Amino acid sequence: MSEIIQVKNLSKSYWRDSFEIPVLNNINLTVNEGDFLALMGPSGSGKTTLLNLIAGIDKPTNGDVVVNGTDISKLSESALAKWRSSNVGFVFQFYNLIKVLTAYENVELPLLLTKLSKAERKKHVETALSIVGLGDRMNHYPKQLSGGQEQRVAIARAIVTDPLILVADEPTGDLDKNSADEILTLVERLNKEFKKTILIVTHDPHAAERAHIKHHLDKGELTLEQS
């Protein structure tokens, strides 16, 4: 399979007043198309930072992130925003749905940035919601859904544009065991059935077990565990 993500000599530091806090140190990573990769590590190890850099919502201090041939670390903010809208699907720990929008409208949000017609958008949204098993909850607001259902809506929102990669930051971190299993099964299905390249950040070993590749991140250093 072809390499879809190449992380080269990536470093990231944050600044607190005049103090530099290094988070990632000279990271190198390659992800192939169709991989299901888990990033593990203790809190503060930099796994979310690495995920954010790969997904183009943060900029590295040094090094490059090349996704499908595009060095996203060189893109401007507006170009990066456009790139994200068509290449990356995001799943967050706390779902991050817009409270005043229905499940349908939340899933439709990324499609508003495309040139699809209303009818085409409807078809895409219905497909995405049916994939996550919420075809009958389209008109429900987030507060009318359980945590697991909210996360499934978030997954539908992430896949509705058919992105190149799907990134999930602790997608089961806020869920009970049953709901977490449902979400992980769904993510697994997206990888197997729909051939999505998936990067998941978790410190839950059970969640990481679902991935094909596990990387451990600690003190800014990345190590491959086992496949």
DSSP structural state of residue 4: E
Place of tokens 């059970």: 206
Contact window for other proteins (CB under 8 A) among 34-42, 61-69, 93-101, 193-201: 93-101
Q: Does 78 bind other proteins (CB under 8 A)?
A: yes
Q: Does 92 bind other proteins (CB under 8 A)?
A: yes
Q: Which helix (H) or strand (E) holds 57?
A: none
Q: How far apart are CA 183 and CA 207, in angstroms?
A: 10
Q: Does 1 bind other proteins (CB under 8 A)?
A: no
Determine which residue in the list 13, 25, 34, 58 makes contact with other proteins, applying CB under 8 A.
Answer: 58
Q: How far apart are CA 161 and CA 219, in angstroms?
A: 35
Q: How far is the CB of 146 from other proteins (least distance, A)?
A: 20
Q: How far apart are CA 18 and CA 126, in angstroms?
A: 50
Judged by DSSP in three states, 15 sits in strand
Contact window for other proteins (CB under 8 A) among 29-37, 62-70, 74-82, 209-217: 74-82
Contact window for other proteins (CB under 8 A) among 23-31, 33-41, 52-60, 202-210: 52-60
Q: How far is the CB of 158 from other proteins (least distance, A)?
A: 9
Q: How far apart are CA 122 and CA 71, in angstroms?
A: 33
Residues 144-173 that bind other proteins (CB under 8 A): 157
Angstrom distances, CA of residue 186 to CA of 13, 25, 130: 34, 33, 12
What is the phi-psi region of residue 189: left when phi exceeds 0, alpha when psi lies from -120 to 50, beta otherwise? alpha
Q: Does 75 bind other proteins (CB under 8 A)?
A: no
Q: How far apart are CA 124 and CA 113, in angstroms?
A: 14
Contact window for other proteins (CB under 8 A) among 81-89, 186-194, 201-209, 212-220: 81-89
Residues 95-134 that bind other proteins (CB under 8 A): 96, 98-101, 104-105, 108-110, 112-113
> What does the binding site for other proteins look like in residue numbers (CB under 8 A)?
49, 52, 55, 57-58, 77-78, 81-86, 90, 92, 96, 98-101, 104-105, 108-110, 112-113, 157
